Amino acid sequence: MRSILFILLFPALIHAGDTIVPKDAKLEKVWSEGEFTEGPAYGPDHCVYFSDIGKRIMKYDPQTGKTIEYRNPSGRANGLDFDPKGRLVAAEGANTGGNRRITITNKDGSVRVLADKWKGKRFNSPNDLTIDYKARVYFTDPRYAGSEPREIDTESVYRVDPTGDVTQIINDVQKPNGIILSPDMSILYLADSPSSPKGTRLLLAYPLKDNGTVGKKKVLHDFGADRGIDGMSIDVKGNIYGTAGRGKTAAVNIFSPEGKKIGFIPTPEDPNNCVFGGADRKMLYVTAGRSLYRIHLTIEGFAVYWPK
């Protein structure tokens, strides 16, 4: 794949006394040959893996600036993350070519199905996921696209244990989308992002218990009529980075753990997801439109798995 690098300058709104986004920060476009980019994850080889949802998973190497295909077909993979052993876990969605399952790609390239059903019923369309220190996978299962008959009435959140056992843990939302865990594993943050104008687009927080179940939800932010959060990342202080908005409001929105908006990184294309990477853990990679962007921040990102 041809490498590409553009430097784009955008103003950033910085909360007083906070320097998460430097005033001279530059948003760089590092690749722009996709159909619809999503689900970035920082891998054991210091490369950024991300979904080009139509059919493939890509790999961007910051050392060479090159982007290559990692897996094709991908089963319409969307959200990606690396488990504590450094294996790529993918949420494979619905629609043409979609496998509607959660998979692990082993280091030898072989693909193993971790889960594709709940109580004998196939998932709607696994969308995004996050993983805890116990290698338990938490994933969202809405249905935004695809004509396949639905076997599960609710659009919910599930936990998959390393044994493959599946538990539905959240079903009091409209369309669960982005999902992330706090660094201490005590809170599960969830984006409820219905596409209907009548829907309510929210950033939610659920207390996470040791057994992997959740307590009562709390609304941290209401996006009103604007496009809600698609994907999320988190830093070592527990600040949440949510990709939301469209057109003039397209941005990575930064929230404190309590839900206060403390930063804003505008993007030239509607953003879909983000992840921290880089040798210093301060480079935020953003998938937006058909592209992959990056911006260097002043705080380290958090992830259960970090390459050595």
**pTM of this prediction?**
0.94
Q: Per-residue pLDDT averaged across 114-135, rounded?
A: 98
Q: Per-residue pLDDT averaged across 260-264, rounded?
A: 93
User: Is residue 302 domain-resident?
Assistant: no
* Enclosing domain of residue 283: 6-296
The enclosing domain of 210 has a CATH number of: 2.120.10.30
User: Is residue 51 domain-resident?
Assistant: yes
The 10s digit of each residue's pLDDT in 36-49 is: 999 999 999 999 99
- Residue 18: per-residue pLDDT: 55
In the chain, the number of structural domains is 1
Task: Name the residue with higher pLDDT: 217 or 10.
Answer: 217
The 10s digit of each residue's pLDDT in 17-34 is: 358 999 888 999 999 999
- Residue 11: per-residue pLDDT: 46
Six-digit token pair at 299? 């705080």
Residues written for the chain: 308
Whole-angstrom distance, CA of residue 125 vs CA of residue 122 = 9
User: Is residue 306 domain-resident?
Assistant: no
Beta bridge partners of 48: 42, 60
Whole-angstrom distance, CA of residue 177 vs CA of residue 51 = 15
User: Is residue 158 domain-resident?
Assistant: yes
Q: Per-residue pLDDT averaged across 103-108, rounded?
A: 92
User: Is residue 181 domain-resident?
Assistant: yes
Handedness of CA 92, 81, 132, 253 (dihedral sign): negative
Q: Per-residue pLDDT averaged across 178-191, rounded?
A: 98
User: Is residue 307 domain-resident?
Assistant: no
User: Is residue 225 domain-resident?
Assistant: yes
